Structure 1
Amino acid sequence: MRIIRSCLPAALMLVTASCSDDKPGGRAPEVSEAAPARVRRLTRAEYDNSVFTVVKHPTPVPMAQLLAPEDAILGFTTHDRLQVTSLLADQLDTIADQNWAPVALGTLATEYECAGNKGEEECARAFIKALGARAFRREVLAEEEADLLELWKAVRKESEPKKAAEFVIQAVLTSASFLYRTELGEPGKPGAVVWLTQREIASALSFAITGGPPDAELLAAADADKLVTADAREAQARRLLKTKQSQAYLERFVVEWLGLSGLTSINKNNQVFPDFSAAFKDSSRVETMTFINHVITNEGASVKELLGANYTFADGRMSQFYGTTSTPDGTTGRVPLPANRVGILTHASVLTTYSLFDSSSPIRRGKFVLTRLLCRDIPPPPPSIIIIPPAVTTDSTTRARFAAHTDNPTCAGCHRQLDPIGFGMEDYDGLGKYRTKENGLDVDASGSVEHTNGKFTFKGGAELAKFLSESDDVAECVPLQLFRYVMGRDEDAVDSSMLADMRGRFRADPKLKLGDALVGLVRSPYFVHRRNP
C-alpha cells in the first residue's frame, strides 16, 4: 500500500499550521534576534536512529544503506536542503512496508493488542498516540490522530487488528511528521523571536549530541518544563555525550569534516605504487577508523590528540609500510608512529585521499588543510583555466612539476596559499609512503602556512601536523565545522554569539574536546530560539 505520497505534504502542513497561529508565546524571549524557523529532513543515519526508537527494536538493524545517499554541502551530508525525492519516497515506502512494519508488529504487540475489557477503537487511539508521539517527537495532533484512525478502520473492515496496526506503522514511518524535524517555536506574531517548544528543544538537543531522537529521560525533562535553563541543557548534553550513539555521531562528524567518506572507493595506479592493493586499502581504512574511534571513546574526542598523536592503530601491513613495530600477532593494535609521522594527517588513508591516481598532489593537500582545518575559502579557478594536472615524468619531482602554478599570474593568488602547504607534505608520495627521493632526485619538503599571527615555516608533514594540533586557527575553525554539521547550514551574522560560546568552551580545555563545543552550543540562548516567518 502506497501511503507516503499522500501523507508527506498533508502531514507537514498540519505540523506547520499547528505551530504558527498568532497567540502570544508561553514565555518572553531571552534574545532579540534569532535564526528563522525551519523544517529539516532526516539524514539516512538519523532515519535509522529514529526508527530504532519508534519500533523499540532490541537489536537495531541499519537500513540506511538501502536509501539514496545524501549529497554534501560545506562538506557535510547533514545540511537542511535535503528533500524527499520520488526515488527516496519509493525506497522509504518499501522499507516501511517490507522491513520495519512487520518487525514492529512483534516489538509493539503489547501496544496495539487490545485487552478484553476495552473497546477496540479506544485501544487503536491509544496505540496511535503512543506510536505517533515517539515518531513525531511531540504529541500527536487531533487531525493526525483522526487520519490514522480512519486508516485503521479502513483496513480493519477486511483484516484483523494486527494488519490494521501494520498499516498504521507504515503510515507513521513514511509521514512528513516523522521524516522532518521541526524547529518552529511557540506561537507568536509574524517576525517575532520565540522560544522553541520544550519538545522541540529536547529534539534539537538530542539530535545535536547523538544524531537521534530524545530518550525517555530527556522527554521527561521537556514535559516538566526543565529545559529552559542553560545548566539543565548542559546536564542533559553531558549525559548523552557518554552514550554510544553520541560517539557514533561524532565519528561521522570527524569522517565528513576530514573528507574521508570515500576510503572504500580509493583507487591507485599500482604500477606506480606497487604497495597498493585491495588489502592495503582495507588495512589503511581500518587503521584510521580504529584511531578515530579510540580518540572519541578514550580521549574525550580530543582534536589535539586526533591531530597530534604519536601512535596509531595498525596491522602488520601498515606497520611495515610505516616502518614501525607491529603488534605481536600482526593484527590491528596500538603501535608507535615513527618520527616522520604525527596524528591522523599523516595516515596513509588521508594522504592517499588527497592525492592523484598516479602521484601526490600538493594542491589537494594544501586545499584540504586550508578549507577543512583552517576554515578558509578558496574560490574556484577562473572558467578560462583548464584544470589538468601536470603530466607525470620520470626526470623531475612533483614539486617542480606543480611549481608553475605560482608563476602564472592568473593562478598565483590562490596557489600562493595552497602550494606552500602542499609542498611541505611532499615527503609522502601519492600512497602516503615516506620518501626523501623521487625519481632519484632529492625531495624538497619545505613549506609554510599563513596563520593569524604570521607565517609558520616547516619541513615535512609531521612538523605541519604538530603545528596544526596546537594552532589557535584550528581551535577557531573546528567549532565552526561542528556548527555546520549539527545545525545543517552555513553560519550567519546572528550566529556569532553562539559560535563564541562554542569556541570558548572548546578552548577552555587544552585537549580541545568536541563535546565541550557541543555543550557551548546547547547552552546558548540562540540555540533555543527561532524567528517566526
Structure 2
Amino acid sequence: MNSSPAFDAARFSAAPHSAKGRLRSFAAIGVVLLAVGTGWQRPAAAEQPVNDSAPATLTRGQQIYAQQCLSCHGEGGRGETDGYADPLIGDASIGELAEIISDTMPEEDPEQCTGDDAKAVAEFIYESFYSEAAQLRNRPARQQLSRLTGTQLQQSLADLYQHFFGTPFRVKERGLSASYFNSGRWDKKQLKVERVDPVLDFDFGHDAPVEGVTPEEFYIHWSGSLQVEHSGRYEIVVESTCSMKVRFGHHEHVLIDNHVQSEGRTEFRRTLNLIGGRQYAIQIDFTQRKRKTEQPPAKFALRWVPPGGTETVIPNEYLLPSTLPSGFALQTKLPPDDRSYGYDRGTRVDRQWEDAITSAALEFGNAAVKELWPQYKRKHRRESDENRGRLRGFLTELASVAFRSPIDDETKRLYVDDQVDAVEDDQMAIARACLMIIKSPRFLYPTLDQQAPVSRRVATRLALALFDSLPADAWLVDQAGKDSFAIDPKADQKNARKNVEQRIRQAALRMSDDPRLHGKAMEMFFDWLDVDPAAEVSKDPEQFAGFDAHLLLDLRRSLESAVSDVFWSESSDYRQLFLRDWNWTNQRLGEFYGEGWMPASETTGHRLVPGNPAAGKTFGVLTHPLVMGHLSYYDTTSPIHRGVFLIRRVLGRTLRPPNEAFTPINPELHPDLTTRQRVELQTGEAKCQVCHQKINALGFPLENYDAVGRFRATEKGKPIDASGGYVTRDGQQVDFESPGDLARFLAENDDAHRAFVERAFEHFAKQPLAAYGEEVADDLVRRFRESDFHIRRLIVEIAVVVATEEFNKENFNEST
C-alpha cells in the first residue's frame, strides 16, 4: 500500500513529547563511573505471525498489509522506507483508521481497499503495532538511569546549603516587616512604629515617614523574604536617595551597599539567578542622616525585572514578612537538558556539562567557606577541635547530606580526611572536599543507591519527586534514620506492606505542604498550558494599543494567582482550572480588558464572581488572556494553534506535524472573511481534513477570544461561530456550541483526566508513566477521580508510586 499525504496526516506517529516514544541509552563520561539507560526493545510487529487461534479478520488484515502496505510502511509499521519514513503509531480508533484507509489507500487506486478489507487491515494495524497498548506490548517502557537535571542540581545544592540553617515554611501573610526608629541607628528605646509594609515604594520627601519620627534623622529596617515563582535571571533594582544597605539570601551577604553614599547616585542594580519555589531572606537598612547642609528628600523603592518581564515595584504577593532560613541560588550557567519527551531528562553528559558541574562545585565551595562553615562552628563551638575535629565533623555532615545517607569510614577517608590532611588551610580543605563531593556520582546520580537502606532510598525518591531535591530537612532525615519505611519484622507480615505504604503516603502528604512544592507545581502548570513565563509576547500596537510589557507581566501574575488559588485551595479541584468564572485583576488589566475585569479598588485584586458581567465569558485558565495570547498570532487568532494545544496537552492525543511547511493565509487577501472562514478555506482539502477536522473543531470554540484574549461577540461585523466538536478515544462524538461547552467537557472528560495524570507524573517523576506498569496508570487515574480530582493528592500518590517501588524491590522482589 503506497502512502499518501492524507494517510500520513492520520496521526500515525507519536507526539514529539510522548513518554511512550523511544528511550535513548547513554554512557556517562568524566566523573561518572557508569550510567547506561535501558531503551525500548521491540520485535517487529509484521514479523510476528498471527497465530492459528487469531480471529480471521486479523489474519485477513495481515495478508492485505503484506500485499499492499508493506513496501511503503515497512515491517511492523516502522516506516524507514523511501516511500514512508515515519512509523505507524497513534491513537485513532479502528473505525477512524478504516475510514482513512477506505478513502485514501492505496494512493494509486483507493478503490482496492474498501469496506471489510479496510476494516480488516485497520484492525490488524491497530492490534499489532499502532495502538498505545500494542506499542507498550511490543516495546515495553523502562525507567532510565539519569543524572541530576539542571533544576535538580540547583534545588539539591540549595537544600544542601539550607540544611545548616533550617527548613523553610509556608507563610500566608504578605509584605515586609518594618521597624521605624527616631534615631539614625537601631535603638530599641527609639523604636516608634512596627508594621508590615505591603510594598516598598516610598517618597517621604522632607516629611517624617511615620508619626513620632523626626524628618531630619531616622532609621528604617525592613526584613522578610522574597518569594520567587519561576527560575531564571532577576534584576534587583533599588532606588534610594539616602544611605542604605541590602542583604540578600544570608545575613552577611551584602547585595547592595550604599551605606557610605555615592554622590549623586540613587539607583543600584544587581542581576541574580533565582530558583522557582524558593524564598530568599532580605534585610534592608535605610538611614536619613542628620546633615549640616540641606538634606535630600527621603525616597526608597524596591523593584525588579523578572525573567521576560519589565521593571516594576516588587508586588505584594512576592514579599513575605517572615525571615526564612538563609538560602543559596546557584549562579553558574547550566547547559539545557533533553526535553524531547516533554520533560527534563538528565541524559546529556558531555564536556559542557562536566565544566558546568566543576564551576558549580567551586561556587558552592565558596559559599560553604564563607557561610556554612561559620554557621557550623557557632553551633558546635563547645565541641573538641582536636585534630581539626570540628572541620572533619562539618565535612562529614556535608557529605552525608549530599550522598543522602550516612557515610562509612572508607568514604569518610576519601571525601573528608584525605582532603583535610592534604592542606593546613581550612578554607582550602573545604573547597577541595566540596569539589570531590559535588562531582561524585553518589551526588549526581541519586538512584545509584542500591546499597543504602530501603528507608534512605524511599526518602531520596520522595524528595526528588516532590522537590527535585535531596532529603535535607531534619524530619525526613530522621524518619529515614529510624528506618520508618521498612517492614517491622515483629509486625504482622500480611498487613506489613499496606502499613509501610501508608507511612510513605503520610510522609508525602506532610511534605506536600512545603513551599518548595509550589515552585515545581507552578512549573508543571505553565508547561501544561504551553506558556513560557519568560517569553516575550508581541501584538500589533495599532489593533491592541496598551498591550505592552507591563500588561504582559500583570497577566502572568494573574495566571499565577489563578493557578495557585486552585492548587492550594482545600478542594484543589482540577475541574476548577476550567470552570472558575473569575480572574485576578488590577487597574491596568481592568482598563484594558474592560467589562468584568475592573478591580474593587486600585490597590487590591478582585475576583470575578457569578452574576458579574463577565459571567459566561471567563472559564478558568482555558480562556485566560495570557494563554489565549500565547496561542495567537501577532495580529489575529489561531484556531489551529489552539486546537493542537488542546489535542496534545490537554487531551493527550498524538498528532504529527504537517508534511509541508504551513503558512496561514494573509488576512489582507480575504479582508471580508473571518478567521474561522480563512482557516476553513485553507484546510478544506481532503489531505488536510484528516487532521484538521479534529484540530479546527477544538480551536473554533475559542474564537470568542481575540489575539490578546479579549472576549468578542463579532468579527468583521459577523457573529462569532464558536461551534465545534471532538471524537473521544472510544469513538463518541461530542459537539460544542460555545467556549463554556468546551470548558465543561474538558473538566469532566476521561481523556483529559488521563492526560493530566500522565503529564503530572512525567513532570514529578522524570520517568514515563508506562514504565511503572499499565495498572499503575489506571490506579492513579482511579484515585484521582475518587479524590474529586484533588491535584495535591494526585501529586502525593505520584510520589508514593515512585517511592514504594524501592520498598517493593527490597521486600517483595518486585520492580517495574
Please indicate, yes or no, whether the TM-score normalized by the shorter chain is above 0.5: yes
- The 3 A distance-change label for structure 1 pair 145 and 506 is same
Deviation at 1:357, TM superposition (A): 2.2
The change in CA–CA distance for 1:405 and 1:210 in structure 2 (over 3 A counts) is same
Is residue 176 of structure 1 aligned with residue 441 of structure 2? yes
Per-residue deviation, residues 79-135 of structure 1 (Å, max 9, x unmatched): 343546255335424532554553323333358979546322x54543332111111
Distance of aligned partners of 1:90 and 1:176 in 2 relative to their CA distance in 1, 3 Å threshold:
same
Out of 664, 667, 683, the residue aligned to residue 392 of structure 1 is 667
Deviations 1:274-300 (A, max 9, x none): 242111111111100111122222245
Q: Of 440, 452, 457, which aligns to 1:200?
A: 457
* CA positional deviation for 1:141: 5.2
Q: CA deviation at 1:350?
A: 0.4
Residue 19 of structure 1 is matched in structure 2 by: none
Any conservation in 1 of the 2:566–2:573 contact (CA below 8 Å)? yes
Name the SS for the 1:449 alignment partner.
Answer: strand
Give the structure 1 partner of residue 370 of structure 2.
102
Q: How does 1:64-463 map to 2 (within 5 A)?
A: 66-77=333-344, 79-83=345-349, 85-86=353-354, 88-89=356-357, 91-93=359-361, 95-99=363-367, 101-110=369-378, 115-116=383-384, 118-120=386-388, 122-140=389-407, 142-148=409-415, 149-156=417-424, 159=425, 161-182=426-447, 185=450, 197-214=454-471, 215-228=473-486, 229-262=500-533, 264-320=535-591, 321-331=593-603, 333-336=605-608, 337-382=614-659, 385-393=660-668, 394-452=671-729, 454-463=732-741
The match for 1:20 is none
Q: Which deviates further from its counterpart, 177-186 or 349-358? A: 177-186
1:2-13 alignment runs, 5 A limit = 12-13=32-33
Amino acid at match of 1:498: V
Across the aligned residues of Structure 1 and Structure 2, the Cα RMSD in angstroms comes to 3.1
Deviation at 1:38, TM superposition (A): 4.8
Quickly say closer, same or farther: Cα 1:204–1:529, change in 2 above 3 A.
same
Task: Check conservation: 2:144, 2:767, Cα contact below 8 A.
Answer: no
Question: How far apart in 1 are the matches of 2:326 and 2:536?
Answer: 29
Q: Using the alignment, how far apart are the partners of 2:409 and 2:766 within structure 1?
A: 30
Distance 2:421 2:533 in 1: 48
- Distance across 1 between alignment mates of 2:563 and 2:508: 21
Query: What is aligned with 2:157?
Result: 51
In the superposition, relative to structure 1, how do residues 367 and 226 fare at CA in structure 2: closer, same or farther (>3 Å)?
same
Q: How does 1:513-524 map to 2 (within 5 A)?
A: 513-524=790-801
Identical aligned residues as a percent: 22
> How much has 1:257 moved relative to structure 2?
1.8
* CA shift in 2, pair 1:101/1:249, >3 Å: farther
Counterpart CA distance in 2 for 1:213 and 1:302 is 29
Residues 111/341 of structure 1: CA separation in 2 closer, same or farther (3 Å cut): same
Moved more, 491-500 or 283-292: 491-500
Separation in structure 2 between the aligned mates of residue 35 and residue 279 of structure 1, nearest angstrom: 45
Which residue does the alignment assign to 2:270? none
Checking the alignment, whether the CA contact within 8 Å between 2:585 and 2:597 is kept in structure 1 is no
Q: Give the whole-Å Cα distance in 2 for the aligned partners of 1:323 and 1:518.
A: 37
Following the alignment from structure 1 to structure 2, what is the Cα–Cα distance between the partners of residues 42 and 477? 26
The amino acid of 1:378's aligned partner reads: L
Contact kept, 8 Å, 1:76 with 1:256, in 2: the verdict is no
User: Relative to structure 1, is the Cα distance of residues 527 and 178 closer, same or farther in structure 2, using a 3 angstrom cutoff?
Assistant: closer
What is the distance in 1 between the residues matched to 2:589 and 2:740? 17
- 1:473 to 2:745 alignment: no
Q: Secondary structure at the match of 1:236?
A: helix
Residue ranges of structure 2 left out of the alignment (5+ in a row):
1-27, 37-139, 166-324, 487-499, 609-613
Shifted more, 93-102 versus 345-354: the winner is 93-102
1:324-356: CA deviations, max 9, x gaps? 153333245232143211101111000011112
Q: Which residue of 2 aligns with 1:487?
A: 765
From the superposition, tell whether residues 182 and 114 of structure 1 become closer, same or farther in structure 2 (CA, over 3 Å).
Answer: farther
SS of 2:327's equivalent in the other structure is: coil
Q: 1:447: how far off?
A: 1.3
Deviates more, 1:413-422 or 1:400-409: 400-409
Q: 1:332 to 1:458 in 2, by over 3 A?
A: farther
TM-score scaled by length of structure 2? 0.56
SS at structure 2 position matched to 1:48: helix
Retained in 1: the 8 A contact 2:765–2:798?
no
Cα pair distance change 1:503/1:467, threshold 3 Å: same
Which of 779, 784, 801 aligns to 1:501? It is 779
Q: Contact 2:600/2:606 (CA < 8 Å) preserved in 1?
A: no
Structure richer in helix, relative to its length = 1
Q: Secondary structure at the match of 1:253?
A: helix
Q: Which amino acid aligns with 1:365?
A: R
Please, which moves more after superposition, 341-350 or 82-91? 82-91
- Aligned-partner Cα distance in 1 for 2:806–2:529: 25
Amino acid at match of 1:330: E
Structure 1 residue 36, shift from structure 2 partner: 5.5
Of structures 1 and 2, the one scoring higher in RCO (CA 8 A, sep 6+) is: 1
Is the Cα contact below 8 Å between 2:764 and 2:798 reproduced in 1? no
Residues 1:138 and 1:481: Cα distance change in structure 2 (over 3 Å):
same
Partner of 1:334, secondary structure, is coil
* SS of corresponding position for 1:139: coil
Whole-Å separation in 1 of the counterparts to 2:627 and 2:604 = 18
Q: Is the 8 A contact 1:42 1:181 kept in 2?
A: yes
- Please give the alpha-carbon distance, in whole angstroms, between the structure 2 residues aligned to 1:487 and 1:360: 35
Q: CA deviation at 1:261?
A: 2.3
CA distance 1:369–1:315, change in 2 (3 Å): same
Q: CA deviation at 1:39?
A: 3.6
Rounded to whole Å, the distance in 2 between the matches of 1:273 and 1:456 is 34
Q: Which moved more, 1:175-184 or 1:274-283?
A: 175-184
Displacement, 1:364? 0.9
Name structure 1 gaps, 5 residues minimum: 1-7, 17-33, 188-195
Could you say what secondary structure the match of 1:368 adopts? helix
Q: Supply the AA of the counterpart residue of 2:605.
A: G
The answer as to whether partners of 1:9 and 1:176 remain within 8 angstroms in 2 is: no
